[in-house]
Amino acid sequence: MSETNSSRAARRALERLGLRAPRLTTVSGGSICDAWRAETDEGTLFIKVHGAGPSDMFLTEAAGLTWLADAGAPVPEVIGADSESLVLRWLDRSRPDARMAREFGATLARLHQTPADGFGVAPPGATHGYIGSAPMPYGRWDAWGPFYAEARVLPYAQQAHALGHLTGQDLRVIDRLCDRLIAQDPELTAGAAGPVRVHGDLWHGNVLWTSRGAFLIDAAAHGGCGFTDLAMLVLFGTPNLGEIVTGYRSVADLPPSWHQRLGLHQLFPLLVHAVLFGGGYGPRAAAIAANHA
Residues with catalytic annotation? Answer: 201
C-alpha distances in Å from residue 11, one per residue of 4, 35, 87, 94, 128: 11, 12, 11, 28, 26
- Alpha carbon 56 to its chain centroid, in Å, reads 16
Helix (H) or strand (E) holding 207: strand 207-210
Residues 175 and 273: their CA atoms lie apart, in Å, by 18
**Residues 210/94, Cβ–Cβ less than 8 Å:** yes
Single-letter amino acid, residue 117? D
Per residue, the 3-state secondary structure of 3-46, as one string, reads CCHHHHHHHHHHHHCCCCCCCEEEECCCCCEEEEEEEECCEEEE
At residue 52, the 3 state secondary structure works out as: coil
